[in-house]
Amino acid sequence: MRKNAIIALADGTVFKGYSLGAEGETIGEVVFNTSMAGYQEILTDPSYEGQIVTLTYPLIGNYGTNEIDCESLRTYLKGFIIKESSVYPSNWRSRWDLETFLKRYGIVGIQGIDTRALTKHIRDFGAQEGVISTIDTNPESLINKAKASPGMVGKDLVKHVTCEKMYEWEQESTEAEFKEGEKSALGGQLDIFQKPQKAYSRSFHVVVYDCGVKYNIIRKLVNCGCKVTIVPANTKADEVLAMKPDGVLLSNGPGDPEAVSYMIENTRQLLGKKPVFGICLGQQIMGLSLGYKTYKLKFGHHGANQPVMDLTTRKVEITAQNHGFAVDADSRKGNAFGRVEITHINLNDKSVEGIECKDIPAFGIQYHPEASPGPHDAGYLFERFIALMEAEKS
């Protein structure tokens, strides 16, 4: 028999359902994701640090979980909300059902609620702090806990997800061997993950600032013929330049970009010296380094179906996204690093989805070119980065 569970929002909204995954209590910003698949990637995406994720698709877990479909060393989100969990997954790659995966890694969740109603509420009133509990059955108590939670603005969450030390990567595809019972050399919550550590020669050397990098970003770089070195987010720009990379990638990550002041300063020192490519949080940090401001979106962009127009080609891409902040297109002050153009916009809300420096080799993208919601619409962006490095070498 399932244990009762409650999700309470800071504005007093309460939903009652049943426990999913680990029992206990968890607090975070409640957001919704509109993807129909990819729940394991969502569970292991470092950009969800500090958040409770609601999936809008009603049946989750129907293809199970495995050792391969993970985007990082461990799970990061604070809680999980779904309509219904599949008890009998059916897929030849499945090793565990969703419930087992969540319990194994301590994720507190809730199911059996009206996720459509919760999603509409967040869309109307904005993302906000919430509490899932299987141990406190008093709604008023949970509402007060949610109200007392400080929220995302001004909080540096990158320090909770970045790697502890520099390492190198050689894996190209996702079909790697993961050995149960072995932990990563970096340490991690999930003992099923084993990260390749040995580097080998490639034509371009890219240093990736790990603000919460997803594995598939690194794999895409390797597929493009790059030797990849991943460094902690607080690595000084001088240390990176001493590695003599051909380019620098600023990765995705969680939270408020303005709170990651050390990354903003590092980026300022790198711009104009090496080709720079920013993805998601990386673009926001690049924008701040170039003189823009950022702001918090009402409920963010989370899902694999966001339409984006590339203004340089007028083509529309269907993109995968996960962010709660954006660059303010009209906020730039000063002319440091020369001219900057907005290259991509979101067709739903017209928010900035891409920027490009015209006088130095640097550009940023707000969405995830390594993720494929359908066709590989955005794969050309890695080729664009390669082209920048080739131009600098020639």
Does 306 share its domain with 181? yes
Is residue 153 assigned to a domain? no
Do residues 197 and 246 both lie within one domain?
A: yes
Residue 50's domain is classified under what CATH number?
Answer: 3.50.30.20
Q: Are residues 242 and 124 in the same domain?
A: no
In this structure, the answer to whether residues 8 and 90 fall within a common structural domain is yes
| Residue the block writes with tokens 């897929």 | 91
Residue whose C-alpha is closest to residue 203's, from 394, 391, 369, 390: 390
Contact in structure between 305 and 322 (CB atoms under 8 Å): no
Provide the residue-wise pLDDT of the chain in tens; the chain has 394 residues: 789 999 999 999 999 999 999 999 999 999 999 999 999 999 999 999 999 999 999 999 999 999 889 999 899 999 999 999 999 999 999 999 999 999 999 999 999 999 999 999 999 999 999 999 999 999 999 999 999 999 999 999 999 999 999 999 876 654 443 333 333 332 333 344 444 444 444 589 999 999 999 999 999 999 888 999 999 999 999 999 999 999 999 999 999 999 999 999 999 999 999 999 999 999 999 999 999 999 999 999 999 989 999 999 999 999 999 999 999 999 999 888 999 999 999 999 999 999 999 999 999 999 999 987 767 888 889 999 999 999 988 7
Give the residue from 95, 129, 148 where a domain finishes: 148
Q: In whole angstroms, what is the distance from residue 157 CA to residue 77 CA? A: 12
Candidates 145, 147, 154, 178; CA nearest to 44 is 178
Q: What is the pLDDT of residue 172?
A: 60
Give domain status of residue 231, yes or no. Answer: yes
Round to whole Å and give the CA distance between 164 and 39: 26
Q: Would you state the pLDDT for residue 182?
A: 33
Place of tokens 């109603």: 117
HSE value, Cβ hemisphere, 13 Å, CA-based, for 36: 5
d(CA 392, CA 394): 6
Q: Which of 29, 280, 344, 357 is catalytic?
A: 280
Taking the CB of residue 240, how many other CB atoms lie within 10 A of it?
21
Question: Per the domain annotation, does 382 fall within a domain?
Answer: yes
Are 211 and 252 in contact by the 8 Å Cβ rule? The answer is yes
Contact call for residues 231 and 208 (beta carbons, < 8 A)? yes
User: For residues 127 and 86, what is the distance between their CA atoms, to the nearest angstrom?
Assistant: 27
Of 121, 323, 344, 368, catalytic = 368
pLDDT for residue 368: 94
205 with 77, same domain: the answer is no
Do the Cβ atoms of 357 and 290 come closer than 8 Å? Answer: yes
Answer yes or no: is 89 within a domain.
Answer: yes
Question: DSSP letter at 271?
Answer: B
Global pTM exceeds 0.85: yes
Asked if 368 is an active-site residue, the reply is yes
Q: Among this protein's residues, is 129 annotated catalytic?
A: no
Please indicate, yes or no, whether residues 63 and 169 belong to a single structural domain of this protein. no
Range of the domain at 18: 4-148
Whichever domain contains 235, its CATH number is 3.40.50.880
Indicate the residue among 123, 148, 173 that finishes a domain.
148
Catalytic residue among 29, 317, 356, 370: 370
Domain count, the chain: 2
DSSP, res 57? S
